[in-house]
Amino acid sequence: MSAVIEEHHDHHDHKPTGIGRWLFSTNHKDIGTMYLWFSFIMFFVGGSMALVIRAELFQPGLQLVEPEFFNQMTTLHGLIMVFGVIMPAFVGLANWMVPMMIGAPDMALPRMNNWSFWLLPGAFGLLIASLIMSLMGMGSAPNFGWTFYAPLSTKYGPASTDFFIFSVHMMGISSIMGAINIIATIMNMRAPGMTYMKMPIFVWTWFITAYLLIAVMPVLAGAVTMMLTDRNFGTSFFDAAGGGDPVMFQHIFWFFGHPEVYIMILPSFGIISEIVPTFARKKIFGYSSMVYATASIAFLSFIVWAHHMFTTGMPVAGELFFMYATMLIAIPTGVKVFNWVSTMWKGSMTFETPMLFAIAFIFLFTIGGFTGLMLCIAPADFQYHDTYFVVAHFHYVLVTGAAFGIMAGVYYWIPKWTGNMYDETLGKWHFWLTTISANVLFFPMHFVGLAGMPRRIPDYSIQFAEFNAMATVGAFVFGFTQLIFLYNVIKTARGRTGVKATDQVWEGSHGLEWTLPSPAPFHSFTTPPQVK
Amino acid sequence: MTSQPKQQTNSNAKVIGRLMLVVVGMFGFGFVMVPIYDIFCEVTGLNGKTSGKRLTEVLEVDTNREVVVEFVATLNEEMPWEFRPAVDKVTVNPGQPTRITYVAKNVTNKDIIGQAVPSVAPGKAATYFQKTECFCFTEQKLEAGEEKEMPVIFVVDPDLPDDVTQLALSYTFFIKPTEASKTASLAHN
Ligand SMILES: [Cu+2]
């Protein structure tokens, strides 16, 4: 023990105080907390934008906002939810949990960790500054959709597009540094005996996600760099007049974009794979097949990107290739769903809030997976492309998938973080209201989408009115329900629930993180634990 | 135990080094996709890109088959010329060289250099559409007020898939950016 203290300059469990604790933090738990709070704040910012969109769509016709502003809302809502909510929340969870799960004292590269977090407020500050300027009447915020297709974002993009480009560069650097840190931690900081095939599934999914990030975030950075030079330095990467090709933008973007959707779901797969065994009181069914399934999903994600581009005039051979390759992804994903269900099979299940979210995840994510299969069928996609059916699909996989996984993870681990049990009654209220309202919100979008309602348009034909009104009601219930979550988290963090958590927290939990005291000490494993 | 932290720092540096190589490589890969994409389109004829090469060999004429070739003329938005095909469409036998003309007129009072970019629809027919002579092979200069006939001699390859009975040949004329116009458009941005 004493040898270890000599290595550290700061003393044991002596936390730095004041604002400096957070600004200069190199502690994986503090940085994890900052990531999670950042994500939570952005969740409400991006969510408010969603409510503006849904309020406008409550009735056909133009009521509340100008179409131009509506476009800015859809764009920023998408960008914030993808890059400002889901990804930082996952990095926050990785920061908190990965070192504890593998028996490490901290992340491998603590200073880089600090930097990768503190780039994010800068990046989103820039992005939101463009919206503030737009609200003050100075130009427009980015308004070309979160996919920023050229030439809409190059030739026709507003002046604030350059803010957007720089913001994406910063987010990219932040994600890459975060990913390098996680890989270095997993490769170098595992406790003795913690072999790769003994790592918790959450660690495995993050390990693979980090590789995906390292492979595709630079491609995104390249795409926005080409936009930057097209806009400002006279190049013509995406400008047909200068010999470029706007369709090439879509190829580059989706080469990043499809692996990106797995970046946003694999860590949730990991969380669910931790929670289900705990509350079914059984070991996970098919551990190694889980690992291999995750790896195959990651591999396949690189060869399916053009399924987003079936309507760009691809030849039939290309359509068939991307269609079949996309269908293949259903196999490893199916293996995972099968394993989760088999883990529950004949288990002694209890239904605390994390488990409820996990079960809802399995059910609702699978619906999103099935609509994904429908969309990947090229001839059918000609009908579904750019309709609300696509919106329904990706909100099922991202809200009731990725976000439900994050919420499940927060409920599951918050007793370990704070030392206090959360309020179970409020948790159940949060779960039921969220799950019901999410379905009221997103399910009708399938119907209007199949009937041909286009996405990203502030007005629609009157035959879509009822389903849209329904979705808007669902959206507002969903949005305000999240305040219960916020309240519950604050109440737990302040210890106002009156129930202390034990070290093991859950009766059925296994793993190194549950051997630490609750709340987890400032430095996790100062002497490495021995893993049998 | 005591030697472990140093070892770790070393291998952390190694991990960072390798991963940074991947990062730099993938950033480069995004840019390499640009030429790859062009080569891929040219080899496969996807995207309606016809080969920029001149056909030299003589193909056998298939008199039992007729294909309709339609002509389309488009001007890029900054191009101030007038531009149209002399005839809207012709019916040809595959293998038979056919000469048609486009007419372009510079209606401004200054000399302008343009470049025409061809495209063939449907995309899968693009590789079967060969040109022996085309105004798109070189830049075209029109003096102020000048009108010019621009010939194309093309051959439809007899191997053209049977289900293709109609082709469209489309040209888009782009203005060649001069130094002056480049600075003007930069200022405009
Ligand atoms: Cu995709």
pLDDT tens per residue across span B19-78: 999 999 999 998 998 888 878 777 766 666 665 566 667 777 888 888 999 999 988 877
Q: Is A314 on the interface with B (CB under 8 A)?
A: yes
Instruction: Give me ligand 1 centre to Cα A182, in Å.
Output: 25
pLDDT of residue A209: 96
The three-class DSSP label of residue A105 is coil
Among A523-527, B63-67, B115-119, B174-178, whose mean pLDDT is lowest? Answer: B174-178
Global ipTM: 0.85
pLDDT of residue A1: 37
Interface of B with A in 104-133 (CB under 8 A): 117, 123-124
Q: Which of B5, B19, B172 sits opposite A7 (nearest CB)?
A: B5
**Which residues have a beta carbon within 5 Å of ligand 1, which is an ion?**
A 258
pLDDT of residue B184: 43
pLDDT of residue B43: 72
pLDDT of residue B188: 41
Write the single-letter amino acid at A488: N
pLDDT of residue B183: 43
The total of other beta-carbon atoms located within 10 Å of residue A348's CB is: 10
CATH topology of domain B50-187: Ctag/Cox11 (Pfam 04442) (2.60.370)
> What mean pLDDT, rounded, does chain B reach?
80
The verdict on a CB contact (< 8 Å) between B15 and A248 is no
pLDDT of residue A99: 94
Q: Mutation target for B interface from A154, A169, A176, A312: give the one with most B CBs within 10 A.
A: A176
Q: Which of A187, A222, A314 sits opposite B15 (nearest CB)?
A: A187
Statement: residue B185 has pLDDT above 50: no
Query: How confident is chain A (532 residues) per 10-residue block, as mean pLDDT?
Result: 42 66 86 96 96 96 93 96 96 95 92 94 95 91 93 90 95 95 94 92 96 96 94 85 83 95 96 96 94 95 94 86 94 96 94 96 96 94 95 96 97 95 96 97 96 94 95 97 96 90 90 90 83 76
How confident is the model over B8-13, as a mean pLDDT? Answer: 74
- Chain A closest CA to B30's CA: distance in Å? 5
**CATH, domain range A25-515:** 1.20.210.10
Q: Which residues make beta-bridge pairs with B155?
A: B130
Write the single-letter amino acid at B183: T
Q: Is A173 on the interface with B (CB under 8 A)?
A: no
A154 chain-B contacts, CB cut-off 8 A: none
CA distance A282 to A261: 30
Search chain A and give the residue with CA nearest B179.
A234
Report phi then psi at A315, rounded to 5. Answer: -70, 160
CA distance A341 to A335: 10
- Chain A closest CA to B161's CA: distance in Å? 14
Q: Is A110 on the interface with B (CB under 8 A)?
A: no
With contact defined as beta carbons under 8 Å apart, do A353 and A429 qualify?
no
- State the residue for tokens 């405009």: B188
- State the residue for tokens 């409820």: A356
Q: Which of B2, B19, B186 sits opposite A3 (nearest CB)?
A: B2
pTM score of the predicted model: 0.86
With contact defined as beta carbons under 8 Å apart, do A189 and A99 qualify?
yes
Q: Mutation target for B interface from A154, A248, A526: give the one with most B CBs within 10 A.
A: A248
Q: Is A242 on the interface with B (CB under 8 A)?
A: yes
> Predicted confidence band at B124 (pLDDT cuts at 50, 70, 90)?
confident
B114 chain-A contacts, CB cut-off 8 A: none
B46 chain-A contacts, CB cut-off 8 A: 314-315, 318
CA distance A347 to B92: 74
Q: Is B19 on the interface with A (CB under 8 A)?
A: yes
